Amino acid sequence: GESVGLHLPTLSVQEGDNSIINCAYSNSASDYFIWYKQESGKGPQFIIDIRSNMDKRQGQRVTVLLNKTVKHLSLQIAATQPGDSAVYFCAENLNDYKLSFGAGTTVTVRA
Partner 1 sequence: NAGVTQTPKFRILKIGQSMTLQCTQDMNHNYMYWYRQDPGMGLKLIYYSVGAGITDKGEVPNGYNVSRSTTEDFPLRLELAAPSQTSVYFCASSYSGSFDRQETQYFGPGTRLLVL
Measured CA distances, 72 to 4, 23, 87 (Å): 10, 6, 19
Out of 17, 27, 46, 108, name the contact with partner 1 by CB under 8 A: 46
Question: Letter for the amino acid at 93?
Answer: N
Q: Is 37 in the site for partner 1 (CB under 8 A)?
A: no
Between CA 47 and CA 36 the distance in angstroms is 5
CB of 109 to partner 1, least distance (A): 20
Which parts of this chain interact with partner 1 (CB under 8 A)? Answer: 2, 4, 9, 31-32, 34, 41-46, 49, 51, 89, 91, 93, 96-104
